[in-house]
Amino acid sequence: MITFEHVTFTYPDAPQPALADVDFAVDEGDFFLVVGETGSGKSTLLRAVNGLVPHFTGGTLLGRVTVDGISTVTPPRELADRVGVVGQNPTASFVTDTVEDELAYAMENLGIAPDVMRRRVEDVLDLLGIAALRRRTLGTLSSGEAQRVAIGSVLTSSPRVLVLDEPTSALDPGAAEDVLAILTRLVDDLGLTVLLAEHRLERVVQYASRIALVGADQRVRVGAPVEMMVDAPVAPPVVALGRLAGWSPMPLSVRDARRAARPLRDRLALITPPTRTAAARGDTIARLAGVASHYGPTEVLHGIDLSIARGEIVAVMGRNGAGKSTLLRLLSGLTRPTSGRVTVGGEIPHSLPAGALVRKVGLVPSDPGALLYERTIESECSVADHEHKLAAGTTRATLERIEAGLDPHRHPRDLSEGQRLALALAVVLAPAPPLILLDEPTRGLDYDAKARLSVILHELAASGHAVVLATHDVELVAETAARGIVIADGEIVSDGAARDVVCHSPVFAPQVAKILAPEQWLTVAEVSAALAS
């Protein structure tokens, strides 16, 4: 269905190619998963399928990409009836303003007859379970709904190939399951070919029929998931556990792993999982008392009572739109509560001047790049020193501690997601605020970068910072948090030891916990340490 014939692609002015001699074919009806480390060229590979690379990026493409026999020498619009592309950020791709119009947009461009259009819109509304949204304005959709509408908007032109770039990265676990269920259904029932890139392999790897691994040398290796996962540099926890226990064939789903894990469970039943306590639980640094917050006319949070102590790592979980980000905004002084009282270090954050606020609390937003302005890492660091009246070199030293060996002359935009996060974190940490907040820190991070982040967070907690994470990433919670909070319907529904909170929830349980239930183990590292002792 899709063939890459010795494709080498170089971005304009780039010293090295982003894809080197890529040669593989995707068969009809494949659920084809593209994996690789951050910045390895996954997005470039996907965008080459319908010709967005090189038509929208410039650069030179050697070799040939064909879809259904048609070469991508023609611009993307001529392939619109064959390939549907859903980008990383669905809301950025919306052209019209209501769901129904958005679904019809591609068909209008293709000149499909009105009665056929009408029928197909209805079909797609049913297929994706979004009939109730048909007249909604696109701006009012939740991210899960927006993702489904984005998929629908390319499905209506009945393409044979669907290309998706990280379709679940912004979604909570429940919404991600919904989207993936739809994709598998499209492959199984309609024979569609799906090509998908994803960092969170634990969510998708069990559905894949083939895997393409984009390596550090920009070459692509293709194979069956079970074989590829034996030694791939990126692996979900289930595979990591399989490698530790030496299971063969490699299980890819929790179900397969549970079958293989019986002996392991028996061994672990004799050992109690380590208790995870706050590294140095100190005095309370932040307190919310009876806090309510509104966004426009809607109440996002109400009756929130919470206190956070130094040395704690607190994970805040919940559905998209449950109020996680609002909680962080309240703590960081960006939003003032409609009622109740927020204090951080004895002060009311939203009434502090900006210069004083950075010494009390630091927030890294979900797009860390928003915090960076300068043209080089070096000037970013020196400007931060200057602004906060710190000794020259403080921010650089902080950055070295988090991510050593970055070329100080690089532009922050050219860094990988993980490196950019490290730089933003360094800038926020330099004035040494006792409270650090991170909003969705693992978006776009591969497993390596995530492991490093988790080490950094543990160090911060050990040195007396309080860390609050708002995240969908249950594996990150399993790796780092000592305390878990779940927000639903504007209220805190559970607050306790992270181990209890996540293990008792079918939605928020990490893979290792699901495999080893009823024993409460959270990560492969814990299991590995227990087996070694």
Partner 1 sequence: MRPRSLHPLAWWIWALALATAALRTTNPLLLGLIVGVAWIVVAARRPQAPWARTFGSFVRFGCVIIVVRVLLQVLFGDRLPGHVLFTLPHVDLPSWAAGVTLGGPVTAESLVVAFNQGLQLATLIACVGAANSLASPYRLLRAIPSVLYELGVVVTVALSFAPQTVVAAAGIRDARRLRGRPHRGLRGLRGMAVPVLEGALERSLDLAASMDSRGYGRHGDVPAHQRRAGQMTTLLGAFAIVVGVFGVLDGGAPFVLGFPTLAAGAVLLVASLRAAKSGAIRSSYRPDVWRIPEWVTVAAGVCALVALVLAAHVGVPGLNPPYSPLEFPTLPLLPVVGVLGAAIPAFATPPLPVELA
What is the three-class DSSP state of 214? strand
- Measure the CA–CA gap between 29 and 482, rounded to whole angstroms: 43
With contacts defined by CB under 8 A, name the span among 60-68, 283-291, 331-339, 459-467 that binds partner 1.
Answer: 331-339
Query: Residues 61, 121, 146, 214: which binds partner 1 (CB under 8 A)?
Result: 121
Query: Residues 6, 60, 126, 137: which binds partner 1 (CB under 8 A)?
Result: 137
Q: Decide: is 323 part of the binding site for partner 1 (CB under 8 A).
A: no
Select 58 or 290, whichever has its Cβ closest to partner 1. 58
Q: Decide: is 139 part of the binding site for partner 1 (CB under 8 A).
A: yes
What is the three-class DSSP state of 382? helix
Cis peptide before 54 (omega within 30 of 0): yes
- Measure the CA–CA gap between 411 and 324, rounded to whole angstroms: 31
Query: Residues 38, 43, 143, 153: which binds partner 1 (CB under 8 A)?
Result: 153
Q: Decide: is 391 part of the binding site for partner 1 (CB under 8 A).
A: no
Q: Decide: is 344 part of the binding site for partner 1 (CB under 8 A).
A: no
Query: Residues 38, 40, 44, 50: which binds partner 1 (CB under 8 A)?
Result: 50
Residue 365 CB, shortest distance to partner 1, in Å, is 6
- Measure the CA–CA gap between 232 and 507, rounded to whole angstroms: 27
Residue 413 CB, shortest distance to partner 1, in Å, is 9
Select 329 or 396, whichever has its Cβ closest to partner 1. 329
Select 101 or 123, whichever has its Cβ closest to partner 1. 101
Q: Please list, residue by residue across 121-131, b when 16 or more beta carbons sit within 10 angstroms of its beta carbon and e when fewer do.
A: beebbebbebe
Q: Decide: is 129 part of the binding site for partner 1 (CB under 8 A).
A: no
Backbone angles phi, psi at 339, to 5 degrees: -150, 165
Query: Residues 59, 76, 223, 282: which binds partner 1 (CB under 8 A)?
Result: 76
Query: Residues 12, 15, 135, 297: which binds partner 1 (CB under 8 A)?
Result: 135
- Measure the CA–CA gap between 78 and 157, rounded to whole angstroms: 12
Tell me whether residue 323 is exposed, middle or buried, using C-beta atoms within 10 angstroms of its C-beta: 0 to 12, 13 to 18, 19 or more. Answer: buried
Residue 385 CB, shortest distance to partner 1, in Å, is 12
CA-derived radius of gyration, the chain: 24
Q: Decide: is 425 part of the binding site for partner 1 (CB under 8 A).
A: no
Select 290 or 355, whichever has its Cβ closest to partner 1. 355
Q: Decide: is 362 part of the binding site for partner 1 (CB under 8 A).
A: yes
Q: Decide: is 388 part of the binding site for partner 1 (CB under 8 A).
A: yes
Q: How many CB atoms lie within 10 A of CB 246?
A: 7
Q: Decide: is 466 part of the binding site for partner 1 (CB under 8 A).
A: no
Query: Residues 140, 248, 272, 277: which binds partner 1 (CB under 8 A)?
Result: 140
Query: Residues 6, 64, 77, 221: which binds partner 1 (CB under 8 A)?
Result: 77
- Measure the CA–CA gap between 193 and 68, rounded to whole angstroms: 11
DSSP string, 467-517: EEEE-S-HHHHHHH-SEEEEEETTEEEEEEEHHHHHHT-TTT--HHHHHHT
Residue 389 CB, shortest distance to partner 1, in Å, is 10
Residue 110 CB, shortest distance to partner 1, in Å, is 5
Residue 317 bridge partners (DSSP): 486
Residue 75 CB, shortest distance to partner 1, in Å, is 7
Q: Scanning residues 83 to 102, which ones bind partner 1 (CB under 8 A)? A: 83-85, 87, 89, 92-98, 100-101
Query: Residues 355, 393, 408, 496: which binds partner 1 (CB under 8 A)?
Result: 355
For residues 99 to 118, the per-residue mask of contacts with partner 1, x marking binding by CB under 8 A and - elsewhere, is: -xx--xxxxxxxxxxx--xx
Tell me whether residue 339 is exposed, middle or buried, using C-beta atoms within 10 angstroms of its C-beta: 0 to 12, 13 to 18, 19 or more. Answer: exposed
- Measure the CA–CA gap between 137 and 99, rounded to whole angstroms: 6
Residue 23 CB, shortest distance to partner 1, in Å, is 24
- Where do the DSSP E strands lie in 151-215? 161-165, 193-197, 210-214
- Measure the CA–CA gap between 430 and 397, rounded to whole angstroms: 9
- Measure the CA–CA gap between 428 and 401, rounded to whole angstroms: 14
The footprint of partner 1 (CB under 8 A) covers: 50, 52, 55-56, 75-78, 80-81, 83-85, 87, 89, 92-98, 100-101, 104-114, 117-118, 121, 134-137, 139-140, 153-154, 157, 329, 332-334, 354-355, 357-358, 362-363, 365, 367, 370-371, 373, 384, 387-388, 427-428, 431
